[in-house]
């Protein structure tokens, strides 16, 4: 498949995954934006020089959102939501207005794509990670060390600062500034997302986001889907992160991992979380990541909780980034109906390993379907 066709296929996959039939109306804009990217031949051609591992289609969506919010073109800007406000009505005028805007700003959009990385810090994904921690933990009162790979702005380091509302039940700090709501799907009930005490936390990020820099925050906002609740969640999570500093190591998630784990108190088990990081690593690097975690587990238990789409990235995805066994129906559904994430647990203990598939989830954390046996 040619580079342009790969970009087109990934854009259509995202549109289908984020906004499938029956999705709330607020996600129509996201789907329409990615369909526009897939069908705009000049834009596809302009993106050809962007390396595939930098996600050209996703970068294009962020660049379009960034320019629209900065320039406020009429009538296009009226379709785009702002944090804390309702989703504007979506209508048939979007396609023509968006196509004209993209055609008139190809050079600026291309420059933005070439000068930035795509970093979607969707804090709602913390709900699925919290569920994974609840399913994997031993003694719920025993303190742990939390290490978040590819942490971006560090929103995933504040798991215990948020409140979680799932299937009519809420857990977490009653005074939390942000509540993350998630719809439960499927036949199995989910764990109760009660988190163990986090004694120490740290993140690793190749390109850390400076939340004191307005330009960096504006780009972070542009990488979020143009959906009102997603933008409102992001704004609230940014404020939580600003109020509760946590260390972020600047470096490659795989090569920096051994030193960071070695720096953690030796008496603490380590929870390593990864939300939409491993899917972007080459196969050899994913193997190095697993080897590094196994090596660290010679002296303490290490659990890797991973929330990622299937690999290879795109509509041909068929494998778990953790090497988990996947049922055929799950892979078939993924390839036919668009991207979703699978949540897996891989535990390393003194030379032994255990792995299991836990759940699948909406790319923006709107629903979760537990796939493991009922939790007791």
Q: Are 305 and 133 in contact (CB under 8 A)?
A: yes
Q: How many domains does the chain have?
A: 2
DSSP state, residue 247: -
Is residue 376 situated within a structural domain? no
Higher-confidence residue: 9 or 65? 65
Do 83 and 176 lie in one domain? The reply is no
The 10s digit of each residue's pLDDT in 25-36 is: 999 999 999 999
CA distance 50 to 281: 17
- Domain residues for the domain of 75 are 3-115
Do 156 and 174 lie in one domain? The reply is yes
Q: Give yes or no: residues 141 and 289 share one domain.
A: yes
What's the pLDDT score for residue 1?
Answer: 53
Answer yes or no: is 346 within a domain: yes
Specify if 84 maps to a domain.
yes
- The last residue of one of the domains, among 115, 142, 163, is 115
Residues 142 and 250 reside in one and the same domain = yes
- Edge-first strand listing for the sheet containing 144-149: 169-171, 163-166, 179-185, 367-370, 352-361, 341-349, 302-308, 270-275, 144-149, 198-205, 248-250
Express each pLDDT in 162-183 by its tens digit.
Answer: 999 998 889 999 999 999 999 9
Give pLDDT tens digits for 41-67: 999 999 988 888 788 999 999 999 999
Instruction: Work out the percent of the chain whose per-residue pLDDT is above 90.
Output: 82
Rg (CA), the chain: 20
Distances (CA, A) of 135 to 124, 183, 316, 332, 346: 18, 18, 29, 26, 12
Q: In this predicted model, what pLDDT tens digit does every residue of 305-344 receive, in sequence order?
A: 999 999 998 888 999 999 999 999 999 999 998 889 999 9
Q: What is the per-residue pLDDT across 207-247, written as a single tens digit (0 to 9) for each?
A: 999 999 999 999 999 999 999 999 999 999 999 999 999 99
pLDDT digits (tens, 9 = 90+) for 143-153: 999 999 999 99
Structure tokens at 180: 């993350």
- The SS3 call for residue 103 is helix
Contact between 147 and 204 under an 8 Å Cβ cutoff? The reply is yes
The pLDDT mean for the chain works out to 93
Quick one: pLDDT band at residue 2, thresholds 50, 70, 90?
low
**Same domain flag for 227 and 88:** no
Of 274, 333, 336, the C-alpha closest to 306 is 274
Residues 95 and 237 both lie in one domain: no
**If pLDDT is split at 50, 70 and 90, which confidence band does 158 have?**
very high
In a domain, 257, yes or no: yes
Whether 285 maps to a domain, the answer reads yes
The answer to the question of residue 290 being in a domain is yes
pLDDT at 376 over 50: no
pLDDT reported for residue 142: 92
- Bridge partners of 347? 303, 354
289 shares a domain with 143: yes
Tell me if 120 is assigned to some domain: no
Indicate if 95 and 149 belong to the same structural domain: no
Q: What is the predicted pLDDT for the residue at 19?
A: 84
Is residue 183 domain-shared with residue 296, that is, in the same domain?
Answer: yes
Same domain (yes/no): 16, 131: no
| pLDDT range class, residue 354, cuts 50, 70, 90 | very high
Q: Are 209 and 110 within one domain?
A: no
For the chain, percent of residues with pLDDT exceeding 70? 98
The residue among 82, 115, 148 that closes a domain is 115
Q: What is the pLDDT of residue 266?
A: 92
Give pLDDT, residue 192: 85
Per-residue pLDDT, 374 = 54
Pick the last residue of a domain from 115, 146, 175. 115
In 179-252, which residue ranges form alpha helices assigned H by DSSP?
214-222, 228-243
Same domain, 157 and 55: no
73 occurs within a structural domain: yes
68 or 22: which leads in pLDDT: 68
């Amino acid at each position: 498949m040619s580079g342009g066709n790969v970009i087109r296929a990934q854009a259509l996959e995202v549109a289908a995954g984020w906004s499938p039939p029956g999705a709330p109306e607020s996600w129509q804009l996201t789907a329409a934006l990615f369909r526009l990217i897939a069908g705009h031949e000049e834009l596809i051609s302009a993106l050809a020089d962007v390396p595939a591992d930098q996600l050209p289609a996703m970068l294009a969506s962020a660049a379009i959102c960034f320019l629209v919010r900065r320039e406020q073109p009429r009538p296009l800007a009226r379709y785009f939501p702002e944090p804390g406000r309702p989703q504007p009505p979506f209508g048939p005028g979007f396609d023509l207005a968006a196509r004209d805007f993209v055609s008139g700003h190809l050079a600026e959009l291309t420059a933005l794509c070439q000068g930035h990385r795509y970093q979607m810090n969707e804090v709602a994904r913390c709900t699925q990670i919290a569920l994974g921690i609840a399913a994997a933990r031993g003694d719920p009162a025993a303190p742990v060390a939390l290490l978040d790979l590819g942490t971006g702005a560090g929103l995933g380091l504040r798991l215990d600062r948020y409140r979680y509302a799932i299937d009519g039940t809420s857990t977490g700090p009653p005074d939390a500034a942000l509540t993350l709501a998630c719809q439960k799907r499927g036949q199995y009930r989910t764990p109760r997302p009660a988190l163990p005490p986090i004694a120490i936390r740290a993140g690793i990020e190749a390109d850390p986001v400076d939340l004191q820099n307005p330009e960096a925050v504006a780009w972070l906002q542009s990488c979020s889907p143009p959906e009102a609740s997603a933008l409102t969640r992001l704004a609230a999570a940014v404020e939580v992160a600003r109020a509760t500093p946590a260390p972020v190591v600047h470096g490659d998630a795989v090569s920096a991992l051994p030193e960071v784990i070695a720096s953690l108190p030796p008496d603490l088990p380590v929870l390593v979380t990864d939300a939409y990081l491993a899917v972007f690593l080459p196969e050899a690097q994913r193997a190095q990541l697993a080897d590094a975690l196994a090596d660290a587990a010679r002296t303490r238990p290490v659990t890797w909780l991973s929330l990622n789409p299937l690999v290879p990235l795109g509509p041909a995805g068929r494998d778990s980034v953790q090497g988990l066994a996947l049922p055929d129906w799950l892979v078939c559904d993924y390839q036919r109906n668009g991207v979703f994430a699978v949540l897996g647990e891989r535990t390393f203990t003194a030379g032994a390993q255990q792995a299991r598939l836990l759940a699948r989830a909406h790319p923006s954390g709107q629903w979760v379907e537990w796939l493991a046996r009922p939790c007791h």
